[in-house]
Structure 1
């Protein structure tokens, strides 16, 4: 027991009995201090260590403070595994759930996750309570993500399996629906469902693609590395096996756009084999996932209207102008999707979503009005945003809680969609300036949706600009 006490003593900062919080708001540390007299672990050193973590919680939402949990607030305690690093591990239900924030009305802590699953680490040797261990155990604000793992997918969890194409690189490719959907990789604290004790999944009955491995011996480390490289966006979900023909199959999220083009060859023709072959070759060379870069397509003449002669060019001959009903093939912008996802995955908090951007559908904005032109970012508009910004995750409704519905926002237009560069994205992503990104469905321009901080800047600039005509040196 002496070694246990000594190890805990090392963790304790000098205790400030005259602790006074200088926060200009009602922070959590004050409420923790008021409750010191109402609990004890039975050991002064452990009490002081826990109190130290609570004294440092100068926040409205509790993030890192530990608390003393009476053992009788745990139930259904079951041994689950022994881990080399942590020793014996048990699972239990915690009646009260974790501290969330101070409730002014009830004058008590508001808690979330009542009767939630928790894990217990048994200290076989009390002396193993070291600073390093406490740091590991108390890092409860860290979110863990499932990124690069594959899973075994039972073949009977796939249905509507249809042959679609044969690709030079991938061989035969099939399309199917996957009953279960993939493991949720977007919210680090949600991937494992503690209540159901199973993975949280998204995309039930989603479309997937199956690549047939005719020769099982071709499943080599080289091949696995090859298909797994594409897991930047979780391209590969796992591996399955056809129980009848015994072929192994890789379950993919995406296949090259060339395969989608190939599936459509039978649905169009120019009535000229040479032209068909030329267009198809450009489509078969489209080894892309997220955007169509160089592929041509056959455009039916009846999809054009208001055709008007405009000029004759020495090189190209007669030129006409027309409107194209359908518009060009467009599959979004992977760089912007990835950038928004990265900002969301970097929000390692339970409650506040401070710096995450989101994709904002354009039809969620209304009363869009031009206000001025900015030399750095081009035209600026004002609008109302129906939904308002993401505030915190609501555990009870299992969705984001939002604030300021129908709020004013500023829209920064990019005159040329090609100007969506890393530099521009980083500029609009300055913390507390941007809520997200949207796109005008007609012009295809990307737009930064900015908050009141930039609004004040924009309006001040606008007011000065409007007054230019009223003075001169």
Structure 2
């Protein structure tokens, strides 16, 4: 069942990503999702309060007819779940509350995400928050290079596998590596130089 959710019943909103189609936030829904409890014949209605959800905000969702069309299309796709709909009165945007897409990967032993405060999806890494955060607040000075690096960063699933832009002045003690030809024992002449360095 899709229900209307008062926007003030959603707390701890944390932006996790944005693209040309939508913004995605994590939030805690104070009232939480509906569940059935009990045994046959004695079923009761209940909720899981303070439940983590994602908020799907489509660009252009201030227009109700646009939002209704997108909501209908989204719900009709097999496997898509919408808990409810809300509206941010400050921006007049209609919003879908949907499941946390990475909930099955969140375990306590991975630690807590410093942004959304949920359990991480892998050790010290939150798949919802960290990839998008990693793409922010840096630039190589070249838009094409930035885009290429960010496309890889956004797909990272573990902290140790994130590539990043390194300012050149953070590298010291550069020393060119000379490679010997095993047959002639002469230094190879390569078109590409390889250096060793210390990354501060």
Determine which structure has more spread, i.e. the larger CA radius of gyration. 1
Q: Which has the higher contact order (CA 8 A, sep 6+)?
A: 2
> Larger helix proportion, structure 1 or 2?
1
